[in-house]
């Protein structure tokens, strides 16, 4: 009997889903083995899309499955995993039901095919739909609170559009028109999702790099460099380093990952921007000189990137948050000693967790002897505003009518 077309892609998607939900891996970590047998780029992209949409709408898919079964399937039952994929395909990716059934049941060879067929067919006959906004996992809602979760959820309904940061902000409007995009800030262009990055105008010339709008804000808060020395801590793959270099800073770019630092070097070469990459562990490294500015985009749980990495909604718990918070404090305490008097420290995380953001800023205020330098509204894109404390907090539900943005926390201080 011939295997249904598209089955290898669905098997790969199932392996991705299993890696995230059962082993706690990121989708990126899982891709190496899960997609090993998939050679064609469109097929690899489809496997990622199926797994990503399943994770994005997992709670709602589970609710539909539970509504059609007399006894609740265990969370890790293969039939539930396959039904999740089947529902995500038909309800989010508009795959025809007959194709979904053919590939889905083939994933359950030797398993409960009749059950899966019955559940999916019953839901299909009912014409079920997913809500307009995804329901967040219960543990996430409990952690963030119902009000915050409700504000964030609309920004997670779709994968993000493509944001570009420009090497020369003076080109913003002309380049936005030429590329068919919109700009939400100087030096920023947003293009529709699905654009093939390397085929876009002036990629090889290095006129821009991919960087979410929210991710570009911390470096913007340091202003023009005018030849002064800046340290980009945990710098790879280099978006913020390139921003600082383009703004006239003499940048030292520190990272401990050789692979990611190689990406930074490639990006610098493509854009023609200059920086000094250093491979070292920030907790043991000692600089040869002090800095006028230090940007710490600290390692974190990355829950703010959930619209592009929906796996974080299902992997991150209190243990990971506490571990990251401890590392962040160690990095900030170390970096504070490397600032010149009058030097500026910007601390940022792409996390939605208060323990990694607001609580860290309060600790810096209380323990490190740095003076807060409040962020002002005129430093931010239209539609964003600083908190009462002078910090910046973004989340995926903000600017939702313009495509949203990642979740970040940013604070700024000056050394006396």
Q: Would you name the residues annotated as active-site residues?
A: 350
CA–CA dist 37, 57 (Å, integer): 26
Instruction: Please state, as a whole number, how many other Cβ atoms lie within 10 Å of the Cβ of residue 372.
Output: 15
CA–CA dist 389, 372 (Å, integer): 9
In terms of residues, how long is the chain? 416
291-297 and 339-349 strand pairing:
parallel
CA dist 363 → 91, 341, 370 (Å):
45, 20, 11
Element (H, E) at 392: strand 392-393
CA 299 from chain centre, in angstroms, equals 13
Q: Residues 156, 137: contact at Cβ < 8 Å?
A: no
- Nearest C-alpha neighbor of 347 from the set 333, 334, 361, 337: 361
Element (H, E) at 123: helix 113-126
The tokens of 296 are what? 């710490």
Q: Residues 136, 125: contact at Cβ < 8 Å?
A: no
The tokens of 105 are what? 């049941």
Question: Strands, E, within 82-227: which ranges?
Answer: 162-166, 188-191, 208-210
Element (H, E) at 352: none
């Amino acid at each position: 009997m011939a295997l249904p077309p598209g089955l290898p892609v669905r098997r790969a998607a199932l392996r991705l889903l299993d890696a995230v939900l059962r082993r706690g891996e990121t989708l990126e970590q899982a891709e190496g083995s899960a997609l090993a047998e998939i050679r064609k780029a469109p097929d690899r992209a489809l496997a990622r899309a199926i797994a990503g949409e399943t994770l994005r709408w997992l709670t709602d898919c589970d609710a539909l499955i539970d509504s059609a079964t007399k006894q609740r399937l265990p969370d890790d039952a293969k039939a539930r995993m396959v039904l999740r994929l089947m529902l995500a395909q038909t309800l989010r990716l508009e795959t025809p039901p007959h194709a979904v059934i053919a590939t889905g049941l083939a994933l359950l060879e030797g398993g409960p095919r009749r059950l899966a067929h019955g559940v999916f067919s019953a839901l299909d006959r009912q014409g079920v739909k997913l809500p307009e906004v995804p329901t967040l996992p219960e543990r996430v809602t409990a952690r963030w609170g119902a009000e915050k979760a409700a504000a964030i959820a609309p920004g997670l309904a779709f994968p993000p559009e493509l944001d570009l940061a420009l090497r020369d902000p003076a080109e913003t409007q002309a380049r936005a028109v030429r590329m068919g995009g919109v700009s939400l800030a100087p030096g920023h262009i947003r293009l529709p999702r699905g654009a093939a990055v390397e085929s876009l105008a002036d990629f090889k010339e290095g006129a821009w790099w991919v960087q979410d709008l929210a991710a570009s804000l911390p470096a913007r808060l340091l202003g023009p460099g005018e030849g002064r020395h800046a340290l980009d801590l945990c710098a790879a793959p280099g978006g913020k380093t390139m921003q600082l270099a383009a703004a006239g800073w003499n940048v030292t770019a520190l990272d401990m990952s050789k692979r990611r630092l190689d990406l930074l070097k490639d990006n610098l070469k493509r854009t023609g921007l200059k920086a000094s990459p250093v491979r070292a562990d920030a907790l043991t490294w000692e600089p040869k000189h002090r800095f006028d500015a230090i940007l710490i985009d600290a390692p974190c749980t990355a829950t703010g990137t959930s619209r592009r990495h929906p796996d974080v909604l299902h992997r991150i718990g209190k243990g990971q948050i506490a571990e990251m918070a401890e590392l962040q404090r160690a990095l900030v305490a170390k970096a504070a000693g490397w600032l010149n008097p009058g030097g500026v420290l910007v601390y940022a995380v792409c996390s939605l967790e208060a323990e990694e953001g607001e609580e860290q800023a309060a600790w810096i205020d209380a323990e490190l002897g740095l003076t807060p330098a409040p962020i002002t509204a005129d430093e931010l894109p239209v539609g964003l505003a600083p908190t009462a404390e002078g910090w910046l907090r973004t989340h995926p539900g903000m600017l939702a009518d313009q495509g949203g943005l990642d979740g970040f926390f940013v604070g700024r201080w000056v050394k006396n």
